[in-house]
Amino acid sequence: KPTPPSKAGKIGFKPVAPNTLDQVTIPTGYQTSVVIRWGDPVVPGAPAFNVDRQTAAAQSKQFGYNNDFVGVVPIPGSKDRALLVVNHEYTNENLMFRGFTTLDALSVEQVKVAMAAHGLSVVEIERSGRSGQWKPAKGYKLRYNRRITALATEFRLTGPVAGTAAVKTAADPSGKIVIGTLNNCAGGVTPWGTVLSGEENFNQYFVGGDAVSAETKTKLNRYGITTTARYPGDSRKWERAQERFDLAKHPNEANRFGWIVEVDPFDPEGRPRKHTAMGRFKHEGANVIVAKDGHVVAYMGDDERFDYLYKFVSEKKYIKSDAPWARKHNLTLLESGTLYVAKVTGDSPATEIDGTGKLPSDGRFDGRGKWIKLVSGNRSFVPGMTAVDVLTYTRLAGDAVGATKMDRPEDVQPSLRTGKIYAAMTNNTNRGVGTNAPADEPNPRNANKHGHIFEITEDRGDHTGLTFTWQLPIVCGDPAAADTYFGGYDKTQVSPISCPDNVAFDSAGNLWISTDGNALGSNDGLFATPIEGKERGHLRQFLTVPKGAETCGPFITGDDKSVFVAVQHPGEITGATVENPASHWPDGDFAKPAVIVTWKADGGAIGS
Ligand code: FEO
Ligand code: CA
Ligand code: CA
Ligand code: CA
C-alpha cells in the first residue's frame, strides 16, 4: 500500500547554535509559546497556583511536575481540538517548596503534594486561528480534563500476572487494583487513540528492602531496589505518607509498578490499566505499529546500563474502524500476547571493535538480530521460570536467555513511513570499565558518554517476525571527534548531539531526537535529520531548552504544523532552590517545568 503524501519533507531550517542560555532558542522563522506549566489548572475548579499554599488537593487538580512524554490525540470530528496527554515523571522538592532543606523535613502534606504532582495530565487543547499554536481549551465543558496521580488514582492490572500472589497486598487482596503510577517517562499514542506510558525508575520509591527474604532481595536488587539499608539514602520518603512503600511491611507492593500503563483519554472516569503481558522492567515507554497481518507490535526499552530491548506481539488483531465495538476490541489488544527480547550480533570481526568508536573495515556498525521468545500467554519459554515469573521479573528472564546488554535503551519507535525501528541508546559510561562488558559492534564505544541511535529493520518488513538486521545511523558526540558517525554525511555540516533520549517522526519520516544530559556542556535540545537517502545523518539542532532542563516529548502533530516539547526539570542544578533558582524560565521567577509548542510563522511544515 503506498504511503500517503506528506506535508513535511525537506528539512530547511538553519540550525540553532549550542548554548547555555536560560531560554528556549528556536530557528529563524519559527515561533514558540508555553502551552501549560506546573500548577496551571487542569480539572475544572482547580485553584490558582500559589507556591506558598500548596496542598495535595490543589495539586491533584493542577498540572503536575516534570512533564516528560507528550501525546496529542485528536478529538474525532474536530480539526482544532485535541487532548494533550502528558507524563509527570518525578518531582524536585528543592525546586517546589520554599525553604526546602531535606525530604525528611517536609510535612506529610508536602509529601502528598509530591505524590499528586506525579502521574499524568489530560488537557483539552485548541488551536488558535490557523497557526500551529495550541492553548488549553476555554469555554468548553472540558469533560476529558483529568489528573492521574501516584497518590490516589486506581489502576487495573490486566494479563497473566493480574490476580496472582505476586501482586496481592493487604490493601488489595484481589491483586488487581493498584493505587497510582510511578516515574512515568516516555510513551506513545496507539492507533486506537489511547496513550501508553512507561513506569521507569520505580525503585527509588521503596524502603525496607533490607527486611525481605533472601530470594526476594535477589529480585529487588536486579531492579535497583536497595536491600542493605532500611531507609536508602536515595528514597523519596513516601512511606511517611503511605505505609505501602515500606517493603518490610508490604513486600509485594513493588511488583505492582514497572509496567506499561494504558490510558484512554476519552474515558475520564475509567481506571487506566497496567498491562502485565508486556513485562516488568524500567519501562522507558512503548510505541506500537500494526503489522501486515493485523497483530499490533509494541517496541520497548529498559532504561538501565546493560539492559535490553523488547517487543510485544498481540494475540488478537487490530480492527481498523472507529466504530465503538471496534474500539472496544482494540482496547484489549495489549492484554494478551507474546513477549520477546533482543539478541544482537555484529557482522564485523570482534578484533575490529576496539572500543574507541573506530569504524570496522566494512565501514559500518551493523549486523543481525533475533527476537527470543520469553513468554506467550500463560506459557513460559524460559527454563525454570513460570509465565508469571517471566512477566514479573522480566529482567531475570532476559538474563537467562542471554539477551544483548545495551547502552541504556530509552525511547524505541517505529517509523510509520518505512517500518524501520529507531531506539535511543542514551549513554553508558560503565561500558568496558572494570569488569563490565566491553564494547561490541552494537555498543561500540567504551565509557560511552554520548550515546547512539540503533536502527532495526525487520526481515521481510514483518514486525511479528523473529529476525532483523540493524545499523547504527548515528554515533553521537562532537562531530569534530573521531568517535562520532552521522550516517556517512559530511560531519562539518552537522550539529553536535549528546545523550539521545526520545525519538519521533514527522509525516515525511524525518527522525527527530531530543536529548537528556548533554555531556558536551551545552543545554539539551531537539534535533532533526533525514534518515533515508543521501541526506541520511544530516542532523541539525532545532531548538535548545533553558538551563538545567532536559528536552522531552517531542510530538509532531499529524498535519506537521506543530511540534510539542516538554521542558523537564529547568534549573535542576545542584544547590538551586525556589529562593535561589538556577533557571527563571518560563515566568521570570522560579523555574517551572512546562510544555511548549513551536510552529513556523508562515504556516509551513515543522522542519521546513
Ligand atoms: Fe526517564 Fe529513561 O528517561
Ligand atoms: Ca559491520
Ligand atoms: Ca526518557
Ligand atoms: Ca530522561
Non-local (6+) Cβ contacts of 70 within 8 A are 84, 85, 86, 87, 552, 553, 554, 555, 564, 565, 566, 595
The Cα 96–Cα 114 span in angstroms is: 9
Ligand 1 centroid–CA 200 distance in Å is 7
> What are the angstrom distances between the C-alpha of 190 and each of 6, 61, 278, 298, 302?
20, 26, 15, 10, 20
Distance of CA 366 from the midpoint of ligand 2 (Å): 4
List, in order, residues 6 or more apart from 310 with CB less than 8 Å away: 279, 281, 299, 300, 301, 302, 339, 340, 341, 342, 394, 398
Question: Which residues are near ligand 1 (CB < 6 Å)?
Answer: 89, 185, 200, 284, 303, 410, 501
Backbone phi, psi, residue 410, to 5°? -100, -130
**SS3 state at 14:** coil
User: Beta strand pairing status for 550-556 and 562-568?
Assistant: antiparallel
pLDDT at 6: 54
Give the pLDDT mean for 413-434: 98
pLDDT per residue as tens digits for the range 542-561: 999 999 999 999 999 999 99
Question: Which ligand 1 atom minimizes the distance to the CA of 301?
Answer: 2
> Which residues are CB-neighbours of 129 under 8 A, at least 6 positions away?
none
Give the Cα-Cα-Cα angle 247, 88, 96 (nearest 5 degrees): 90
DSSP assignment string, 309-368: EEEEEEEEE-----SHHHHHHHTTGGGSEEEEEEEEEESS-GGG--SB-PPPTTSS-EEE
Residues in CB range of 22: below 8 A, 6 or more apart: 546, 547, 583, 584, 585
Q: How far is the CA of 254 from the centre of ligand 2 (A)?
A: 41
For residue 299, which amino acid is it?
Y
The span from the CA of 551 to the CA of 563, in Å, is 12
- Residue 450 near residue 427 (C-beta atoms within 8 A): yes
Q: Is the pLDDT of residue 122 over 70?
A: yes
Q: How far is the CA of 165 from the centre of ligand 3 (A)?
A: 31
pLDDT cut 70: percent of the chain above it:
99
425-483 residue pLDDT tens? 999 999 999 999 999 999 999 999 999 999 999 999 999 999 999 999 999 999 999 99
d(C-alpha 316, C-alpha 294), whole Å: 8
Name the DSSP letter for residue 427: -
Q: Are 279 and 339 in contact (CB under 8 A)?
A: yes
Question: Which residue in 507, 553, 512, 543 sits closest to 529, CA to CA?
Answer: 512
Please provide residue 125's backbone torsions phi and psi, each rounded to the nearest 5 degrees.
-125, 160
Ligand 1, atom 1: closest residue by C-alpha? 185
The environment of the single-atom ion ligand 2, i.e. residues with CB closer than 5 A, is 347-348, 360, 362, 364, 366
Strand 511-515, strand 500-505: pairing: antiparallel
Q: Ligand nearest 303 Cα, by number? A: 1
pLDDT, residue 62, reads 98
State the Cα–Cα distance between residues 302 and 411, nearest whole angstrom.
9
Where residue 8 falls among pLDDT bands split at 50, 70, 90?
Answer: confident
pLDDT of residue 430: 98
Among 187, 123, 113, 124, CA closest to 152:
113
> In the predicted model, is pLDDT for residue 128 greater than 90?
no
**DSSP state at residue 274:** E
pLDDT score of 109: 98
Integer Cα distance of 210 and 197 in angstroms:
30
